[in-house]
């Protein structure tokens, strides 16, 4: 069994931002030499997500508006008790649960075995500082 580990680093300009990381993950699959296996991609921070969906700017606007309805940004400690700790990112911990922490993608014939529109995104909900994404590949 082969294994391959990579920590990618991202720094978003916006508080909430989606970054297409598909080509970075594909490069790690190639580097791993794995032909048949599984590829785990997860946010290493708890106010961020890794998810798979469409690379369409209108959809990304829709997600941002929807997540803001589901868990509005509010730095006060009234809405989010988490903000009593001095943090202002209570909302981001909620948004991350909706969009998920991780994806697991099949590797077949040395490539990510994707449907026609699947793209991997790093979703940041409390950005403007360095954040890491784990890529772990196992297989043969």
Binding site for its own copies (CB under 8 A): 1, 3, 5, 36-38, 40, 42-46, 51-54, 56, 58-59, 61-63, 66, 70-71, 80-85, 90, 93-94, 96-106, 108, 113-118, 132, 134, 136, 138-140
Minimum CB separation of residue 30 from its own copies in Å reads 18
Q: In this complex, which beta carbon is closest to its own copies, that of residue 24 or of residue 102?
A: 102
Minimum CB separation of residue 38 from its own copies in Å reads 6
What DSSP element (H or E) covers 58? helix 57-70
Minimum CB separation of residue 55 from its own copies in Å reads 10
Asked if 122 and 10 touch (Cβ cutoff 8 Å), the reply is yes
DSSP 77-134: TTT-GGGGGT-S-HHHHHHHHHH-SEEEEEEETTEE---TT-EEEEEESS-SSEEEEE
Q: In this complex, which beta carbon is closest to its own copies, that of residue 15 or of residue 114?
A: 114
Asked if 127 and 17 touch (Cβ cutoff 8 Å), the reply is yes
Residues 6+ apart with CB under 8 A from 73: 15, 91
Minimum CB separation of residue 127 from its own copies in Å reads 15
Q: In this complex, which beta carbon is closest to its own copies, that of residue 15 or of residue 102?
A: 102
């Amino acid at each position: 069994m082969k294994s391959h580990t990579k920590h990618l680093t991202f720094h978003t300009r916006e508080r909430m931002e989606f970054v297409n990381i598909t080509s970075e993950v594909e490069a790690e699959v190639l580097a791993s030499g794995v032909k048949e296996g599984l590829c785990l991609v997860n946010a290493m921070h708890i106010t961020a997500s890794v998810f798979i969906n469409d690379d369409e700017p209108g959809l990304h606007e829709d997600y941002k508006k929807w997540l803001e309805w589901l868990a509005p940004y509010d730095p006060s400690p009234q809405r989010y008790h988490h903000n009593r700790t001095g943090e202002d990112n209570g909302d981001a911990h909620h948004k991350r649960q909706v969009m998920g922490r991780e994806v697991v993608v099949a590797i077949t014939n040395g490539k990510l075995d994707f449907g026609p529109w699947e793209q991997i995104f790093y979703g940041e909900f409390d950005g403007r500082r360095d954040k890491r994404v784990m890529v772990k590949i196992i297989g043969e």
